[in-house]
Amino acid sequence: MSWLGTVWLVPLYPLLGALFSLLWSPGLISRTGPRPSGYVNLLMVSIAFGHSLMALLSLSSNSEAGQAAIYAPPSFQWTWLQTSGLSIGFDGLVTEPGLIAMTVITGLHVLVQIFSIGYLEMDWGWPRFFGALSFFEAGLCGLVLTDSVFFSYVLLELLTVGTYVIVGTWYNQSLVVKGARDAFLTKRIGDLILLAGVIALLPITGTWNFHGLQAWAADLTNNAQPLPPGFQLILLALVAGPMGKCAQIPLHLWLDEAMESPLPSTVLRNSVVVIGGAWVLLRLEPLIALSPLVQGVLVVVGGTTALVASLIALGQIDVKRALSFLVSSWLGLLFVAVGLGGIGVADHLLLVYPLPMALMLMAIGTIVISNVTQDLTQLGGLWSRRPLMGIAFLAGAAGLMGLPPFGGFAALRELLELAANSQLPLVLGGLVLITNGLLSAALMRVFGLIWGGRPTPFTVRSPEVLWLMVLPVMLLLGLVLHIPQLLVHLGVYTLSPVPGWGPMGWPLLLSTLVGAGTSAWFYLRPHPLAELPSGLGGLQHWLAEDMHTEAFYHRTVVALVVGLARLSAWSDRQLVDGFSSGTGGVAMEGARRLSYTTSGRSQTYALSLVLGVLLMAAWLLSR
């Protein structure tokens, strides 16, 4: 029983932790208070982290087993359903990328759960909160282990439910409840379209396994066969799931709404849960590559999201929302990479993303909890008071901008190179450069508004927070700064002279410097131009309101459903119900009339009985 062979246990540890939390539900354990539930969950996710780290190390240190595992990954089977020729199994597959992803997921969960103990010091919702966090971890670890597109759907859907529960936990506030609802329903749309695609896929390909699908696609290409009819539609449906999960326009609403939940869950959602969608997208890439149409859709959707979401982020005054739109924007770039067929580039974009985003959000969390506001206009001047967190935020931001030698640079440069070699080099290359500039500007704006400028009434006193929050941030800071070294160590990049330098390095660096520099000039010190002239204020307002997307949904989808529901309720009352009470009335009237035929004389009844028996006998005899 090696670490590698028992990797399937990893999702089960946190699941067990989540189940343990149920013991602290109301009416069961109340004497201890809710805190032990948090410790139990922390223990379980730590075990999960230890296990996946050991498995990863045994893969890379034991060269023989490692080599064997890379070319014939250990697999495990669990048949979930078998009936009438349909057999659905979990089909676990332990690949090296999966192990890396699992180590990142479990490691971040350990840090965030420690962080949460500090963050939720005064809260009473521990069992639900920690249970839900562990549930997320179980779902994500399952997602990276499964080789089945069906189970990927199942797990994405369960993550959707997890979001609903974790957001709704703080249900005393009406905004939270609305956020939970919107988050669930928006993601459910994407999930259901994905399910439709999954269902339609099986009769065509005969398999739900990613590797089977890859082989099927290769077969199709090698034999130069045309795509089955309707296959592009199925592909679009399959892509809708990741689109919803990665908060791409037009399914981006939920991420912003889900911000209502406590910050530690935001950290995980924005760093690893959204990546779950991207993971599934990457695994579908062999199929997507079959259809230029779907690739085009991905480029358009991703490109629009990248550009527009970064603009929207620039208009936000809520710090959590500002960062959540940057999530959409970054993942938009990933969609562009997949659409352009750059699976390797998309891989790298995915690799470098989670840790810096988590670091920034955790740093923000320490500010929000001690300054009791997340409104950017009420913060400022914290550099003299909270420099550690400022450095942490800057490190995270540097990790996502195209700034050498930090983590994000190499991946963005590769994307720029890919775009420059595409059919639309100017448009797509420009898109990447502008998005990178805007991303850098938005990140620097957040930094400037919090740490730059003069102290406000909210920030005059800003004590450092509990060590339980500072420690994980510092640990993560170290990790984020070492991402390039880690990637070089793993052989993703070579060290020449900085990791990932190559063609198109200069333009990318320039766009970063222009974006971040302009933003720093505006926001590090209060600058008169930081307040937009009134003519442009409307634009900022429009962006701050997420281009009125929510109102748009209310006027279209929601209005349609509500209207149809009212219409059918009306028709049910008027037609069906009316008809039914009509028949009821007729029956009652008939019964009343019929009652006049009774005379009360028992002879008449007896006679009718006898007549009936005689008739029946006659009929029987006549046969």
Partner 1 sequence: MDLLLLLLIPLLAGLVLPLLPDGSPWVRRGALAAALLQLLDGLWLWQHPPAAISAGWLPQLGLRLELGLDGLTLPLVLLAALLTAMAVMASPVDQSRPRLFFALMLATNVGLIGAFLARNALLFLLAYELILIPTTLLVATWGGERRAGAAIRFLTYGAVSGVALLAAVLALGWLQPGGLNFSYTALADHSLSAVQQRWILALVLLAFGLKLPVVPLHGWQPLTYSQAPTPVAMLMSGVVSKLGAYGLLRFGLEFLPDAWAAWSPWLAAVGAISAIYGALNAIAQLEMRRLVAYSSLGHMGMLLLALAAATPLSLQGVIAQMLAHGLIIALLFCLVGLIELRTGTSAIPELSGLLNPQRGLPFTLGLMLLALLAAAGVPGLAGFVAELLVFEGSWVAFPWPTLVCLLASGLTAVYAIRLFNRVGFGRLDNDRADWVSTSWGERAPALVLTALVLVAGLWPSMLTGFSETATAPLALRSSDAVTVIAMAPANLNSPNLNPAQLPA
Nearer to partner 1 by C-beta: 165 or 466?
165
Q: Segment 367-396, which members bind partner 1 (CB under 8 A)?
A: none
Exactly one of 32, 33, 123, 206 binds partner 1 (CB under 8 A); that residue is: 206
Exposure string over 71-104, b if 16+ CB within 10 A, otherwise e: eebbeeeeeeeeeeeeebbbbbbbbeebbbbbbb
Exactly one of 427, 460, 559, 569 binds partner 1 (CB under 8 A); that residue is: 569
Nearer to partner 1 by C-beta: 346 or 438?
346
The residues, ordered by sequence, that sit 6+ positions from 356 with a Cβ below 8 Å of its Cβ are: 395, 396, 397, 398, 399, 400, 407, 408, 480, 483
Q: How far apart are CA 244 and CA 194, in angstroms?
A: 10
Going through 61-104 in order, the beta strands assigned E by DSSP cover: 75-76, 79-83, 86-89, 92-93
In Å, the largest CA–CA distance within the chain is 115
Asked if 443 and 400 touch (Cβ cutoff 8 Å), the reply is yes
Exactly one of 572, 608, 609, 615 binds partner 1 (CB under 8 A); that residue is: 572
Query: In a 3-state reduction of DSSP, which class is residue 282?
Result: helix
Q: How far apart are CA 595 and CA 319, in angstroms?
A: 77
Written as one letter, the residue type at 29 is I
Q: Segment 319-348, which members bind partner 1 (CB under 8 A)?
A: 343-344, 346-348
The yes or no reply on residue 181 touching partner 1 (CB under 8 A) is: yes
Q: Tell me 189's DSSP state.
A: H
Nearer to partner 1 by C-beta: 85 or 533?
85
Q: Which helix (H) or strand (E) holds 404?
A: none
Beta strands at 79-83 and 86-89: parallel, antiparallel or unpaired: antiparallel
- Closest residue by Cα to residue 266 from 278, 277, 257, 279: 257
Exactly one of 9, 12, 54, 204 binds partner 1 (CB under 8 A); that residue is: 204
Q: How far apart are CA 149 and CA 155, in angstroms?
A: 10
Nearer to partner 1 by C-beta: 281 or 465?
281
The yes or no reply on residue 232 touching partner 1 (CB under 8 A) is: no
Nearer to partner 1 by C-beta: 14 or 437?
14
User: At its nearest, how many Å lie between partner 1 and the CB of residue 69?
Assistant: 10
The yes or no reply on residue 77 touching partner 1 (CB under 8 A) is: yes
Q: Taking CB under 8 A as the rule, which mask of x and - marks residues 258-287 in contact with partner 1?
A: --------------------xx--xx--x-
The residues, ordered by sequence, that sit 6+ positions from 163 with a Cβ below 8 Å of its Cβ are: 180, 183, 184, 187, 254, 258, 261, 269, 273
Number of residues that bind partner 1 (CB under 8 A): 102
The yes or no reply on residue 12 touching partner 1 (CB under 8 A) is: no
Exactly one of 1, 31, 63, 72 binds partner 1 (CB under 8 A); that residue is: 72
The residues, ordered by sequence, that sit 6+ positions from 155 with a Cβ below 8 Å of its Cβ are: 139, 140, 142, 143, 146, 276
- Closest residue by Cα to residue 164 from 84, 230, 96, 260: 260
Exactly one of 32, 33, 87, 551 binds partner 1 (CB under 8 A); that residue is: 87
The yes or no reply on residue 35 touching partner 1 (CB under 8 A) is: no
Q: Segment 94-123, which members bind partner 1 (CB under 8 A)?
A: 95-98, 100-101
Q: What is the Rg, in whole angstroms, of the alpha carbon atoms belonging to the chain?
A: 30
Q: Segment 15-34, which members bind partner 1 (CB under 8 A)?
A: 25-27
User: At its nearest, how many Å lie between partner 1 and the CB of residue 136?
Assistant: 14
Written as one letter, the residue type at 367 is I
Q: Segment 463-522, which members bind partner 1 (CB under 8 A)?
A: 492
Q: Segment 293-322, which members bind partner 1 (CB under 8 A)?
A: none
- Closest residue by Cα to residue 365 from 473, 271, 504, 513: 473
Exactly one of 351, 431, 432, 473 binds partner 1 (CB under 8 A); that residue is: 351
Assign 3-class secondary structure to 427-444. HHHHHHHHHHHHHHHHHH
For 245, 285, 493, the CA distances from 484, given in Å and listed in that order, are 27, 26, 8
Q: How far apart are CA 119 and CA 603, in angstroms?
A: 88
Taking CB under 8 A as the binding criterion, the range among 51-59, 93-101, 323-331, 386-394 that sits at the site for partner 1 is 93-101
Give the length of the chain: 623
Nearer to partner 1 by C-beta: 178 or 482?
178
Nearer to partner 1 by C-beta: 387 or 584?
584
- Closest residue by Cα to residue 608 from 596, 597, 595, 622: 597
User: At its nearest, how many Å lie between partner 1 and the CB of residue 49?
Assistant: 19
Q: Which helix (H) or strand (E) holds 291?
A: none
Nearer to partner 1 by C-beta: 280 or 312?
280
User: At its nearest, how many Å lie between partner 1 and the CB of residue 602?
Assistant: 24
Exactly one of 14, 38, 118, 168 binds partner 1 (CB under 8 A); that residue is: 168
Q: How far apart are CA 559 and CA 249, in angstroms?
A: 20
Query: In a 3-state reduction of DSSP, which class is residue 6?
Result: coil
Phi, psi for 546 (deg, rounded to 5): 55, 45
Exactly one of 55, 255, 350, 394 binds partner 1 (CB under 8 A); that residue is: 350
Exactly one of 293, 539, 559, 561 binds partner 1 (CB under 8 A); that residue is: 561
Nearer to partner 1 by C-beta: 506 or 579?
579
Taking CB under 8 A as the binding criterion, the range among 416-424, 523-531, 546-554, 581-589 that sits at the site for partner 1 is 581-589
Q: Taking CB under 8 A as the rule, which mask of x and - marks residues 406-445 in contact with partner 1?
A: ----------------------------------------
Taking CB under 8 A as the binding criterion, the range among 478-486, 504-512, 531-539, 582-590 that sits at the site for partner 1 is 582-590
Exactly one of 293, 532, 587, 609 binds partner 1 (CB under 8 A); that residue is: 587
Exactly one of 121, 123, 199, 467 binds partner 1 (CB under 8 A); that residue is: 199
Exactly one of 184, 231, 406, 501 binds partner 1 (CB under 8 A); that residue is: 184
Nearer to partner 1 by C-beta: 551 or 569?
569
The yes or no reply on residue 620 touching partner 1 (CB under 8 A) is: yes
Instruction: Work out whether the CA dihedral 529, 534, 539, 542 comes out positive or negative.
Output: positive
Nearer to partner 1 by C-beta: 102 or 441?
102
The yes or no reply on residue 229 touching partner 1 (CB under 8 A) is: no
